[in-house]
Amino acid sequence: MHTLRWQHVTGGCMAQIVNTPSYVKDVAASEGLMSQRRRRTIIAFLFILPALVNFTVFRYLPIIASFRTSLYQYSLLGGYGSFIGFQHYARLIHDPVFWKSLSVTTRFVIYKVPIQIVLSLGLAMLVQRETFGAGVVRSAILTPMVTSIIILSILWAMMYHSQLGLIQSILGIFGIPHLSILSNPNRALPAITVMMIWKDLGFSMIILLAGLKGIPGEYYDAALVDGANKWQAFIHITIPLLKPVLMFVIVTQTVFSFQVFVPVYQMTKGGPLDSTKAIVYYIYQQGFSYQDMGYASALAMVTLVLLLVISYFQMRFLRAEA
């Protein structure tokens, strides 16, 4: 044992215990493995440590601070006022604009995510084959993803403009008179949704494309031999094998879409008639325009909880399906 411990200290190299009895070798081997495993764990931990520090300092601590702020009267310039407990949470229950903003956000997610997933899956299948021009198509679809959202919002607002917009000119070709889009409460949210689908299509397409490329071709060959047509292959092979990737895309896109802010801020300022007032814009408005950071924090906490619940059920549902 003494020899063994000494060897462990010196590095636990198996070559140095060749002449020891077999039971000692086994123990030494297992301790060596443990040591290696521990070392690997430490290395892995050190690699994720910066991310952990980042998350702790810039994510988790602000969440805790935000929760604390939600229990106080607080404004950026005025600082902490009196402790009011859960009054902000009680207030939001009776706040019609909060419910409206929640409804707007939910509708935005419901409009956007399914359409985006279907379109991006279709596009991913279209460009997965290395045919002529596939690279160009892929790049074209990915371009909006890497373009600044603020610039895109400005450009799309110009395109939607009821008098000067490009879209109006296109409609004009077909004899359709100029439409108010962003100043119409029924059209403003769908207009933002269309822009955001176009913007985010590349992201979900590239993830799904990676998922599609990971499905072995043998499955399709076997299905072909068994007489399955393309639709059957898609339903019984592609979809089940793509489910983990689909789950990732759906969950991330739901979360991202729930946090829509920039296009609302840039294109409509939440209007007209609160028709595009998404929850994150409402939080911003309460915190920075209305000087009520305490209430804004309460709204942020509720949004966080909602997102956690939605993500949990989405993952559970999709895992069960898988």
Partner 1 sequence: MKKRRPLFLPVAALLFLAACGGAPAATNSPTTASGTTSQAAATSAETAPPAAMSAPAATMAAVTSAPAATMTEAATMAAAATTAAPAATSASAGGAPGAAVTINFITIDDPDLLLAQQAVAQAFSKSDPKYANVTINFQSVPFEQLFPKIESAVASGANIDMFLADAPDVKHYAYNKAIIPLQDYYTADELKQWTPGSVAEGSFKGVFYAPPSMESCSLMFYNKDMTDAAGLQPPAKVQGWTMQEALAAWKKTTLDKNGTGTPTQWGVRWGQGTYQGDYEAGIIRRSAGKKGSPTNMGIAPDGVTFHGYLDTPEAIKSFEDYRSWHRGATPVTPAEPINNIFFNKQSAFVVYPDNAIGTINRLYPNGDFHYGVTGIPYYADGTQLCHGGSWHFGVSPRTANKDISVAIAKFFGGPEGSRIWYSKVHQLPARYDLLASLPEYNKYPQQLFNEGLKTIEVPRIETPGYTEYQSIFGELMQSIVAEGTVDVPSLVKDAATKMEAALAKYKGWNQ
The residue ranges that bind partner 1 (CB under 8 A) are: 10-11, 13, 39, 42-43, 46-47, 49-50, 53-54, 57-58, 73, 75-78, 148, 150, 161-164, 172, 177-178, 180, 182-186, 269-274, 285, 288-292
Q: Give yes or no for a contact between 198 and 144, defined as CB atoms under 8 angstroms apart.
A: yes
Q: Tell me how far, at minimum, the Cβ of 173 lies from partner 1, in Å.
A: 12
The CA distance from 96 to 101, in Å, is: 9
Q: Tell me how far, at minimum, the Cβ of 293 lies from partner 1, in Å.
A: 9
Nearer to partner 1, 52 or 222 (CB): 52
| Main-chain dihedrals φ then ψ at residue 270, nearest 5 degrees | 85, -10
Nearer to partner 1, 108 or 281 (CB): 281
Q: Tell me how far, at minimum, the Cβ of 188 lies from partner 1, in Å.
A: 9
Q: What distances in angstroms separate CA 238 from CA 132, 201, 242, 276, one per listed residue?
A: 24, 20, 6, 36
Token output for 299: 């709204």
Q: Tell me how far, at minimum, the Cβ of 128 lies from partner 1, in Å.
A: 34
Nearer to partner 1, 120 or 265 (CB): 265
Nearer to partner 1, 33 or 224 (CB): 33
Nearer to partner 1, 109 or 149 (CB): 149
**Which of 202, 283, 208 lies closest to 244 in space, CA to CA?**
208
Nearer to partner 1, 20 or 266 (CB): 266
DSSP code of residue 147: S
The CA distance from 320 to 10, in Å, is: 49
Q: Tell me how far, at minimum, the Cβ of 278 lies from partner 1, in Å.
A: 14
Q: Tell me how far, at minimum, the Cβ of 129 lies from partner 1, in Å.
A: 39
| Main-chain dihedrals φ then ψ at residue 179, nearest 5 degrees | -115, 140
Ranges assigned E (strand) in the chain: 72-75, 79-83
Token output for 254: 């739901």
Q: Tell me how far, at minimum, the Cβ of 155 lies from partner 1, in Å.
A: 14
Nearer to partner 1, 31 or 306 (CB): 31
The CA distance from 200 to 198, in Å, is: 6
Token output for 32: 């060596």
Q: How much of the chain is helix, strand and coil, in % rounded to 5?
A: 75, 5, 20
